[in-house]
Amino acid sequence: MTDRILLVGATGFLGSFVAARLMERHPVALVRPSSETSVLPRGMELRRGSLNGGPLPLDGISTVVYCASMGFGHVPRSVRQLEQRRISRALFISTTAVFTTLPSASRTPRLEAEAAVERSSMDWTILRPTMIYGTARDRNISRLLRFLKRIPVFPLCGNALWQPIYVEDLADAVVAALDSSDTVKKVYNVAGAQPLRFADLVRTAGRAVERNVTLIRVPLAAAVLAAGLTRVVTPEQICRLAEDKAFSYADAARDFLFAPRSFAEGVACEAEALGLARRAPPRVEPRR
């Protein structure tokens, strides 16, 4: 079979949702010996390989969807291989973290990775999501929900804007962007429906697990000092919490009808999936 899709990062949090949506197109998953393949849809073809070196398994592949991090320096090498093997279409998942104004070790390799993609001769598209949440596999909101269910008290340090994206909405966006010719050679920010202040995010998460959360304000300077002394989190992580992370997705809405759900809707689904709340209300589909 030719003209197949190679899904890089298929076993990851986002990748497994994308895999499920692509199944009817008989995609191929790139996996390592250590990959947890039980998260993949049954019957998905697996091909061994690694981004760390060696050739990517590209026989019969015409399209690549790249859901592995672009922050580890391996993208320029991968792009060279894709071009040599005449891959025609490629979609890459970057991150809105490239916009941070704070010191970040991964920012430069991510920007270099995006530049390598943009210089390539392929029909490429880059999606930059904000923080992704939605199941026990996320490393952020699931922890917050479990914590708030047990202890509905939370420190508030700064009150920045956040706009996390629900994993199912992002997986839908990957497929829609892949299928649209309007997205070729373009970069899109993708985020949740509206930005919300961190205090509202925590209160909304609390409501999803049926708790009224008490917020205790902690001055940013004191939190940075405490982080430096205790080393539980780094001062940089505290500063990042306080940095605004709101992004317009108007281009994505125009080009591939991206219409994400609100955080209230997404977090209610997640709380229910985690067994921390009663059934979430059904999603009201946005009018297109």
Ligand X SMILES: NC(=O)c1ccc[n+]([C@@H]2O[C@H](COP(=O)([O-])OP(=O)(O)OC[C@H]3O[C@@H](n4cnc5c(N)ncnc54)[C@H](OP(=O)(O)O)[C@@H]3O)[C@@H](O)[C@H]2O)c1
Residue closer to ligand X, measured from CB, 93 or 276: 93
Stretch that binds ligand X, among 61-69, 155-163, 204-212, 249-257 (CB under 6 A): 61-69
Shortest separation between residue 133's beta carbon and ligand X, angstroms: 7
Site membership for ligand X, residue 143 (CB under 6 A): no
Shortest separation between residue 93's beta carbon and ligand X, angstroms: 4
Site membership for ligand X, residue 14 (CB under 6 A): yes
Shortest separation between residue 224's beta carbon and ligand X, angstroms: 23
Residue closer to ligand X, measured from CB, 6 or 30: 30
Stretch that binds ligand X, among 64-72, 148-156, 173-181, 276-284 (CB under 6 A): 64-72
Residue closer to ligand X, measured from CB, 93 or 193: 93
Three-class DSSP labels, the chain? CCCEEEEECCCCHHHHHHHHHHHHHCCEEEECCCCCHHHCCCCCEEEECCCCCCCCCCCCEEEEEECCCCCCCCHHHHHHHHHHCCCCEEEEECCHHHHCCCCCCCHHHHHHHHHHHHHCCCEEEEEEECCEECCCCCCCHHHHHHHHHHCCEEEECCCCEECCEEHHHHHHHHHHHHHCHHHCCEEEEECCCCCEEHHHHHHHHHHHCCCCCEEEECCHHHHHHHHHHHCCCCHHHHHHHCCCCCCCCHHHHHHHCCCCCCHHHHHHHHHHHCCCCCCCCCCCCCCC
Shortest separation between residue 212's beta carbon and ligand X, angstroms: 27
Which residue has the closest beta carbon to ligand X? Answer: 12
Residue closer to ligand X, measured from CB, 14 or 173: 14
Most distant CA pair in the chain: distance in Å? 60
Instruction: Determine the Cα–Cα distance for residues 186 and 98; give it in Å rounded to an integer.
Output: 16
Residue closer to ligand X, measured from CB, 171 or 223: 171
Q: Which of residues 74-133 bind ligand X (CB under 6 A)?
A: 93, 95, 129, 131-132
Site membership for ligand X, residue 163 (CB under 6 A): no
Q: How many residues bind ligand X (CB under 6 A)?
A: 24
Stretch that binds ligand X, among 31-39, 76-84, 154-162, 207-215 (CB under 6 A): 31-39
Residue ranges that bind ligand X, judged by CB under 6 A: 9-15, 30, 32, 34-36, 50-52, 67-70, 93, 95, 129, 131-132
